[in-house]
């Protein structure tokens, strides 16, 4: 199978990624999901003309000429706290004491702020000391939203503000696209769980857990399928189980050309059609992708940096496309290098970096990782700058594309 470019790999993954089924989620369970249908308001908002200040509801024409020297003197006929219903009609020469958020009484069209008044006659009267035009400090019925108006469109990613809107319009069963389930497998007889002390020749399973964390941040649910030794039957069993239980199966390791790299054969034996197995990229050349129906399988490299980069650039877009998210790729900006960079030409490289806006321009600093096994360098990175395959050297100040990993 020929080695392909990263752009070709992304296109193939997205071509074989289908939208996932819809479901109804509870209000808080919808956080981070994608809305599957338009949501309409069941009420006008506000549902009545309401006061936006504490003060007095009055007939606006009564106070148009009021001032310190000639205050408007009005009789106070009732007090209207928020949550109550006015009982009296305000007519010329009368006022109702009103609180913020309370409904306006019939007859009143203006609220005079309490700071512009003086109460008198033990609260039965009020002097208005400043002019206020009709309609001031009143939010009219339906000013924000009208009944049956679309307040959230299908495809909206649900964040905390959207949760508030859903609550405001009474939607407690939210129509969303189900979050895909991503099963994660670590392969290799040398791998042990993090709680174990590695014996000679063993390493802890860091990839499996970092991959689950990335999949969660991509918007998926995860299922840990465990560590599988270098055994073809064991690999077939776990891939088969993953295809039955999950929407996406991620395997770490076992995808290069070594004698114990058995993942591709096990995938084929499970009915997975492999669409590519090598990408002209660095890090992460030996990366396998296949599909069985709507189920996707990714064989990611065992080297940690390669696995992280492959998951960000290929798996994450698939997970988000399944949910019809409008933004499926990490944001990319144009910026400049803070220092020079060299590579061996031939493969497009995605370099872990620390990037920030400096005086309105993005600037990227290489974090200096020691190859694709250097997981620790990634803790300093918040981005990847891109070096094209044919480029051998870039000077400080050279312009590059920067993939932002910590945006959103």
CA dihedral 226, 227, 232, 235 (to 10 degrees): 20
Q: Which residue has the tokens 């148009």?
A: 64
Tell me how many degrees the CA angle 121-122-127 measures, rounded to the nearest 5: 50
CA distance linking residue 14 with residue 209, whole number of Å: 25
pLDDT of res. 408: 43
Q: Can you give the three-state secondary structure of the chain, one letter per residue?
A: CCCECHHHHHHHHHHCCCCCCEEEEECCCCCCCEECCCEECCCCECCCCEECCCEEEECHHHCCCCCCCCCEEEEEEEEECCCCCCCCCCCCCEEEEECCCCECCCCCCEEEEHHHEEEECCCCEEEECCCCCCCCCEECCCCCECCCCEEECCCCECCHHHHHHHHHCCCCEEEEECCCEEEEEEECCCEECCCCCCCCCCEECHHHHHHHHHHHHCCCEEEEEEEECCCHHHHHHHHHHHHHHCCEEEEECCCCCCCCCCHHHHHHHCCCEEEECCECEECCCCCEEEEECCEEEEEECCCHHHHHHHHHHHHHHHHHHHCCCCCCCCCEEEEEECCCEECCCCCEEEEEEEEEEECCEEEEEECCCCCCCCHHHHHHCCEEEEECCCCCEECCCCEEEEEECCCC
How confident is the chain (408 residues) per 10-residue block, as mean pLDDT? 92 96 95 94 95 96 89 95 96 96 96 94 92 91 94 94 96 96 94 92 91 94 94 94 97 67 89 95 91 96 90 96 92 95 92 92 86 73 94 95 81
Please report the domains of the chain, with CATH numbers, ordered by start residue. 6-21+178-322 (3.40.980.10), 23-45+144-177 (3.90.105.10), 50-139 (2.170.190.11), 332-404 (2.40.340.10)
pTM of the predicted model as reported, rounded to 2 decimal places = 0.81
pLDDT of res. 260: 46
CA distance linking residue 392 with residue 388, whole number of Å: 9
Q: Which residue has the tokens 């319009």?
A: 169
Q: Which residue has the tokens 């998926």?
A: 220
Q: Are the C-beta atoms of 174 and 24 separated by less than 8 Å? A: yes
User: How far, CA to CA in Å, does 247 sit from each of 21, 44, 48, 276, 293?
Assistant: 11, 41, 48, 19, 10
CA proximity to 401, closest of 350, 351, 334, 353: 334
CA distance linking residue 359 with residue 348, whole number of Å: 29
Residue 39: φ, ψ to 5°: -115, 130
Residue 243: φ, ψ to 5°: -65, -30
Beta bridge partners of 194: none
């Amino acid at each position: 199978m020929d080695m392909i470019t990263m752009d070709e790999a992304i296109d193939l993954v997205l071509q074989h990624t289908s939208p996932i089924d819809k479901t109804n989620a509870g209000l808080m369970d919808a956080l981070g999901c994608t809305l599957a249908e338009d949501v309409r308001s069941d009420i006008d908002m506000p549902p009545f003309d309401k006061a936006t200040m504490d003060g007095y509801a009055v007939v606006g024409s009564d106070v148009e000429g009021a001032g310190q020297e000639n205050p408007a003197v009005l009789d106070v006929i009732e007090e209207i706290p928020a949550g109550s219903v006015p009982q009296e009609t305000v007519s010329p020469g009368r006022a109702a004491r009103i609180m913020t958020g309370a409904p306006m009484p019939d007859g009143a069209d203006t609220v005079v702020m309490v700071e512009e008044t003086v109460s008198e006659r033990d609260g039965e009267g009020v002097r208005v000391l400043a002019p206020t035009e009709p309609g001031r400090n009143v939010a009219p019925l339906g000013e924000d939203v009208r009944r049956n108006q679309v307040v959230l469109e299908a495809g909206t990613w649900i964040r905390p503000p959207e949760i508030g809107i859903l609550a405001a319009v009474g939607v407690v069963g939210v129509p969303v696209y189900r979050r895909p389930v991503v099963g994660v497998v670590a392969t290799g007889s040398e791998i042990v769980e993090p709680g174990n002390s590695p014996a000679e020749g063993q390493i802890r399973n860091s990839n499996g857990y970092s991959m689950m964390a990335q999949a969660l941040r991509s918007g998926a649910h995860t299922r840990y399928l465990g560590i599988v030794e270098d055994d073809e039957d064991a690999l077939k069993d776990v891939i088969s189980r993953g295809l039955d239980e999950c929407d996406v199966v991620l395997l770490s390791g076992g995808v290069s050309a070594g004698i114990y790299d058995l993942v591709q054969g096990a995938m084929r034996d499970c009915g997975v059609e492999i669409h590519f197995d090598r990408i002209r990229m660095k890090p992460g050349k030996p990366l396998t992708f296949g599909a069985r129906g709507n189920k996707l399988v990714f064989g990611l490299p065992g080297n940690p940096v390669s696995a992280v980069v492959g998951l960000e650039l290929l798996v994450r877009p698939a997970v988000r496309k399944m949910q019809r998210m409008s933004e499926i790729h990490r944001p990319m900006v144009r910026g400049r290098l803070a220092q020079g960079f060299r590579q061996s030409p031939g493969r497009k490289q995605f370099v872990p970096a620390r990037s920030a806006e400096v005086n309105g321009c993005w600037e990227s600093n290489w974090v200096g990782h020691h190859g694709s096994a250097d997981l620790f360098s990634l803790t300093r990175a918040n981005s990847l700058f891109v070096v094209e395959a044919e480029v051998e050297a870039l000077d400080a100040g050279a312009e590059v594309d920067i993939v932002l990993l910590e945006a959103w």
